[in-house]
Chain A
């Protein structure tokens, strides 16, 4: 029996977020603290010829690459990105020099003159000579199947950059401590930052990373904090004083990561009745100037590129290309929103060309339990594409509405999608995450590195432990992630925090319960004192993954969704306003229904922004509209009525049947909106669907 799981219990955050008492990075102050500033490149490609400090440098701490005690690389996958430019500049806003001063006005007034030798930049990923990563997924014989297909439909689909716009910008404070550094920061992955600091500072310094309360992440604080953490640490080591670096909004938008722009080409073979017989998909992502996480974003994008459909002959070829722009990186959905957008708009166009109803087309081809995905993974009973589709259609009275709205200024469209939970393939096995649970005098304390960034990590983990241990939810404490005390439960990404880390915690709690032999934590603690349980992730024994050929069980399970968007167009201005969005999503089981609802509502609205509003304008390799005035995210007035439905289909390997949820809601809104715009008679294949793009579609 569960008493906490499945209930919308009080959040562990307490009241502080609503009273302003909760401290974020910029709210912290340390004695003797300096402010740090980053001097960045003003060209997209070339070499640094000279650097001159054109100010009175007294009282300043100045750091360039020569001050780096160990390695000048940000430790991630491929180690190609420097903390500070030595000579080669690969993108605008690349860090070259760091300054620190106790007086912020003096700091901002400091003028550093840098002379460059400019070179010809590459901005177009299709013309780039260099790919960070190529991926091929192949099943059956696509060329053969295309040649014999009764109908072939082709199409190209494009998506733009998307900026995270966490309302708290990136910020850290490096504090000298015991001959080393304590790094406090707004971040998702404390051990990523720890590893990166080890790389830049070496092994001689004691180090710890403490996550401060984090004002939103969405992937934007997965890898980038490693960079800013290194910068602050270098200044702190050189000055011997605490150094705080908080980006302002412009710097955050110009210099930090964004969602990868994409170009996806489909060639699809079908029978006349609409059965998919061949899918040839070409995926190009714009990686930017350094590899960062592009290889894994591409991987997830490619695996999801055939959509939630069955087809025996599939070839997916993906490339993440180098361009002279700031590196793109992790963003909620991680490549899947781009490729699933292309697939779902393409499905609509296939239905148009076949002269058939797109619902029937989707129903006919949707993956069912027992079917095989593009990587030849056989789906188990927890696959719910059809259920989501049917519920969305029923709930919105889709067929009738679609008929009724024809020829009006309103359109309705739909998208079917899925999202793999956890790291891809053998990723979780390699990661070998650990969780620890400590017995306390009153209950238990969760000791993991998984971060609360708004989504409810603390609360949801405490619910799982509470029910598995059989003690009241209120007696479970959650430690603030500090790498010197918590277990490395891996990064807070990939919709893995509930399903993967939650499961390890559940196993810790079950073993603790056994050790208690019927006593309460208080009784046991009084008699024998405290103890800890540490457990490691166990990969489901049935999972097989071939990383060379990209075949096998890509994810332990998938969450499923179907979104229906109803939009209204102003035929004079070509502005499109979403009127109502219905989101039907199946993610195993909600541990905390109100938090789960918040993930779906919030993710859906981010997806609506991606579809309609959020336009990153790049000029000479830099974001030309890096303010919230010119890059608009949905306000209350841009946000339509949301109707959210949570379906349950338990995953046996998750805690209490739960799967991952965080990213799923991001995948559906853009294609649903664009398909609704197609219903209005506009042949749109790109996002964002800003009026300029729509006018161009209309005049074709």
Chain B
């Protein structure tokens, strides 16, 4: 089955009911997308499908046919948000971080605190209490404006 993965046309032979999460991690070797709950509650497995955040643990691979899928690896290492997450200690244990960064990457360019809270409401973090995550996103937005 064909889909676009991080900008590259990709063919994977996998059962259409296999979880997109497992296809990404096992067939494509992209382990940056994490599993936290397996039922679409925690957001650790967040990826973009056609520009929209989804929990890849509850998306059957068949639904990704011909779609444009972007994972944390597809954001590249130079994304300002990623550095901001580390600088502001928005990442502690780091297991929720790839999903958080993917979710934050589709917020508008200059988000308000309320927009960040709503935008990340589907991503659980047990370490930070979220405050440092807000600081990371706000500082990255400020840097983007500067």
Contacts and interface: CB of A to CB of B under 8 A. Distances in A.
Given A17-B97, A216-B95, 5 more contacts: A18-B83, A23-B31, A213-B94, A601-B129, A602-B126
Interface in B63-119: 71-73, 75, 77, 81-83, 85-89, 91-98, 101, 116-118
A581 to B, nearest CB: 9
B102 to A, nearest CB: 9
B32 interface: yes
A24 B98 CA distance: 13
Tell which of B81, B86, B93, B94 has the most Cβ of chain A within 10 Å. Answer: B93
Contacts of A629: 39, 41
Contact of B98 (A13, A20, A642): A20
A700 interface: no
Contacts of A455: 92, 127
A403 interface: no
A595 interface: yes
Interface string A16-30: 111111111011000
Contacts of A605: 128-130
Contacts of B124: 165, 167, 628, 633, 635
Contacts of B52: none
B59 interface: no
Interface string A635-651: 11101001000000000
B92 A598 contact: yes
Interface residues of B, number: 52
Nearest to A11: B86
A454 B31 contact: no
A598 B120 CA distance: 18
B39 A249 contact: yes
Contact of A594 (B88, B121, B122): B88
B34 A10 contact: no
Contacts of B92: 216, 454-456, 598, 602
B76 to A, nearest CB: 8
A636 B121 contact: yes
Contacts of B98: 18-20
Given A15-B77, A21-B32, A167-B125, A636 B130 contact: yes
A627 interface: yes
A453 interface: yes
A598 B127 contact: yes
Contact of B121 (A14, A20, A454, A635): A635
Contacts of A67: none
A46 to B, nearest CB: 30
A18 B89 contact: no
B91 A18 contact: yes
A27 B41 contact: no
A20 B130 contact: no
A642 B131 contact: yes
A635 B89 CA distance: 18
Contacts of B96: 167, 215
B118 to A, nearest CB: 7
A567 B71 CA distance: 38
A116 interface: no
A17 B94 contact: yes
Contact of A19 (B42, B77, B95): B77
B129 A249 contact: no
B126 A606 contact: yes
28 contacts: A10-B87, A13-B86, A15-B77, A15-B82, A15-B86, A17-B91, A18-B86, A19-B32, A19-B98, A20-B30, A20-B31, A20-B71, A21-B77, A167-B93, A249-B36, A453-B93, A454-B92, A454-B93, A456-B92, A598-B89, A598-B127, A598-B132, A601-B129, A606-B126, A636-B116, A636-B117, A637-B117, A642-B131
Given A18-B98, A249-B39, A594 B132 contact: yes
Interface in A1-41: 8, 10-11, 13-24, 26-27
B14 interface: no
Contacts of A633: 124, 126
A598 B89 CA distance: 7
Given A20-B33, A601-B132, A215 B72 contact: no
Nearest to A253: B37
Contacts of B39: 249, 627-629
B82 to A, nearest CB: 4
A564 B95 CA distance: 30
Interface in A121-135: none
Contact of B94 (A249, A454, A628): A454
